[in-house]
Amino acid sequence: MAKITINSVEHDIDGPADMPLLWAIRDIAGLTGTKFGCGVGLCGACTVHLDGVATQSCLVTLGEADGKTVTTIEGLSPEGEHAVQRAWRELNVPQCGFCQAGQIMQAASLLAENPKPSDQEILDAMSANICRCGCYQRIVAAVRHASTGI
């Protein structure tokens, strides 16, 4: 049994210690905004914040997450008003949308750490998040836009 605070709610998660956090979030906590993409840490679709740091939840076990705080896309801003979420809407970033929760979580973590990143810093920080539709120019533009605080 692991105690994990997910989106400010404490959960007692009954699952094997080696279960990926991704499945605990989706299947046990019922928060399906975090997506399964590859399962091996190559795509970033499952990115959440673990104790405030962008983390691919498919690579973290339930045992490793025990006692920690997780923020998913549902908890970033339940009303969708985080600066990154607003920028995503204003600049029409998504095409298919599958990777966007992970992209947004990665971008929010970047801006929490570096509120005014250069384009190269944005590219570097976002490099672990794959967009199969190729929306990279819009992603960089939206992160830049969110960093202005508009």
Domain positions in the chain: 2-76, 83-147
CB 129 within 8 A of CB 123: no
The pTM score is 0.95
Nearest to residue 104, comparing CAs of 29, 149, 46, 38?
Answer: 46
Summarised one tens digit per residue, pLDDT across range 54-97 is: 999 999 999 999 999 999 999 999 999 999 999 999 999 999 98
CB 126 within 8 A of CB 103: yes
What's 28's DSSP letter? I
| Domain 2-76 fold | Ubiquitin-like (UB roll) (3.10.20)
Give me the CATH code for the 83-147 domain, please: 1.10.150.120
- CA 27 → CA 31, 36, 119, 120, distances in Å? 8, 11, 36, 36
Summarised one tens digit per residue, pLDDT across range 104-143 is: 999 999 999 999 999 999 999 999 999 999 999 999 999 9
